[in-house]
Amino acid sequence: METLTIHPENNEQMKAIKAVLKALKIPFDQKESPYKPEFVEKINEAEKDQEDAIILKNDKDVDNYFKNLERDV
């Protein structure tokens, strides 16, 4: 049999998943995260910050970025 790892994003999702598993009589184990909540929050914030980030990997990217800015003005 397979094992699934589920990653609910909030308490509401966790409650819903537990309810479904209980209704289907599927046994499950719940373990606390090994990470401190403050650390997890910092990681989540950093990921959100990167969503809107503009990544310039080389000189060509930099040149193209600034050329596009000049066109938009």
Question: How many domains are there within the chain?
Answer: 1
Residue 60: inside a domain: yes
pLDDT averaged over 10-residue windows placed end to end, the chain, 73 residues: 88 95 94 89 90 89 86 64
pTM: 0.47
Give the model's pLDDT for residue 1. 82
C-alpha dihedral sign at 21, 26, 27, 29 = negative
In this structure, what DSSP letter does residue 33 have?
-
Task: Please report whether residue 33 resides in a domain.
Answer: yes
Q: Which residue has the tokens 């994003």?
A: 9
Q: Which domain holds residue 39?
A: 11-72
Look up residue 55 and give its two tokens. 């990544």
CA gap 38, 43 in Å, rounded: 9
- 28 is a domain residue: yes
Residue 39, pLDDT score: 94
**63: in domain:** yes
